[in-house]
Amino acid sequence: MNYSQEHQRYLRSIRTHRRAVRLSRVMVLVLFLGLWELGGRLGWFDVFILSSPGRVLSTIGRLWREGSLFLHVGVTLYETVLGFLLGTALGILLAVVLWWLPFWNEVMDPYLVVLNALPKIALGPVLIVWIGAGMGSIIVMAVLISLVVTTVTVLSGFTAAAAEKQLLMRTLGAGKGQTFLKVVLPAGVPHMMSALKISVGMSWVGVIVGEYLVSRSGLGYLIVYGGQVFQLDLVMASVVLLCLLAALMYGGVALLEKRFQK
């Protein structure tokens, strides 16, 4: 396909802008890590409290040599991914059901608002009593946190999705299933992707808080243990690992979003 010179210049400007954004992101990260390491070496702050990139890498290497790195990372990642998948799947299913049943949608609306505002972390001790002090209560915590957010976000997308098109479909004699599949579901995909992005972070919050309370393994456990024995390098190393895992998980959702947009 032949493009005009103006259009080619426009496409080049977009590519240049994207490369500049990526390069700037890398430079900001490198600058932050460099200042962090330099500040520790020059005594700008106490490395015992704030650690440094070198000490963090050393701590991660020690966990690797001890054979416990993949254990803790694997436990936290398993709990988060499972809680995320269950929470988002159940949330989308509940949103579909409430859209399908407008009467119950109106009935449940205030309860969803209250549940969305409720700090689900407060239910942690109750879940431990109900389910037990183990991985199950941690996964349920992650499910509860992502479930309500997903339901509210997706349901709002379904409700607002092309109201005039839904009316046109009903006028032409389309059934509710046809209206949902042809109009509501495609229009609700952006809201589902937004819900997935939100649920990624919320699932990590639920799992880490659950590990604070009951876990004997996982990155949340390492953070609590490191704070108790004043090994703050272990705390910072766990936080860095959490950032990397969360970024990878968010990147996976972003790739999924691009595929659905196409």
200-212 burial: b if 16+ Cβ within 10 Å, else e: bbbbbbbbbbbbb
pLDDT digits (tens, 9 = 90+) for 102-112: 888 888 888 88
Task: Tell me which of 135 and 132 has the higher pLDDT.
Answer: 135
CA 154/CA 56 separation, integer angstroms? 39
Range in 1-10, 38-47, 133-142, 216-225 with the lowest mean pLDDT:
1-10
- Report the residue count for the chain: 262
Write out the H or E segment, with its range, that includes residue 179: helix 176-179
pLDDT at res. 27: 94
For 94-98, 195-199, 256-260, which range has the lowest pLDDT when averaged over its residues?
256-260
For residue range 178-198, what is the model confidence (pLDDT) as tens digits? Answer: 777 777 777 777 778 888 888
Report the alpha-carbon distance of residue 126 to residue 198 in Å, rounded: 25
Residue range 200-209: mean pLDDT, rounded: 84
170 has pLDDT over 80: no
Where residue 23 falls among pLDDT bands split at 50, 70, 90?
Answer: very high
Q: pLDDT at position 162, please?
A: 62
Q: What is the pLDDT of residues 24-40, one digit of tens each?
A: 989 999 999 899 888 88
Kindly state the tokens that stand for 245: 């895992």
Model confidence at 6: pLDDT above 80: no
> Which pLDDT value is given to residue 51?
83
Residue 232 has pLDDT above 80, yes or no: yes
- Report CA 60 to chain centroid distance, whole Å: 24
CB 69 within 8 A of CB 244: no
Q: Using an 8 Å Cβ cutoff, are 100 and 181 in contact?
A: no
Residue whose token pair is 């979003």 = 257
